[in-house]
Amino acid sequence: MDNITDLLNNIQMQMIERCRMSRPRIQIAPHLSRAELTQRYETCQNAKIKSYWQAIQLLSQQNPCLSVEQVANTVGFSTDWVRKLAHRYNRLGANGIAAQPRSLRKESLKKESLRQEMQSANQ
């Protein structure tokens, strides 16, 4: 039993080291807990949005940490799209994942940017 535990610990340490050595990992902002991300993914009725939630959920994992490339392969998106999705989630939270026409998304981003500028000016 100790040998198995040692082996598992060794594998876990190797995985952590691999994550450190690879390209810097995208950090996911803690807008939602891991359980909330899982719940959003499992209950989403829209297949496309469900895949978005799955990508964010996978990127938020700590063990094993997955690269953008691995997440993109899992959900069937390009690495560029997964990065954009992660950055949008980090900036807007759950609202960044919701299905919106592009014109509304741009308007939402403008409003968020303006709100952040106003907060900075007030501080």
Task: Give the whole-angstrom CA distance, residue 123 versus residue 118.
Answer: 9
Task: Give the whole-angstrom CA distance, residue 103 versus residue 107.
Answer: 6
Task: List pLDDT tens digits, range 27-46.
Answer: 899 999 999 999 999 999 99
pLDDT number for residue 62? 81
Q: Check: CB of residue 69 under 8 Å from CB of residue 22.
A: no
pLDDT number for residue 11? 74
The per-residue b/e assignment along 100-119, b for 16 or more CB within 10 angstroms, e otherwise, is eeeeebeebeeeeeeeeeee
pLDDT number for residue 109? 67
pLDDT number for residue 30? 93
pLDDT number for residue 35? 93
Per-position pLDDT tens, the chain of length 123: 577 787 777 777 776 666 555 566 788 999 999 999 999 999 999 999 999 999 999 999 887 788 899 999 999 999 999 999 999 999 999 999 986 656 555 666 677 777 777 777 776
pTM to 2 decimal places: 0.64
pLDDT number for residue 76? 95
pLDDT number for residue 13? 72
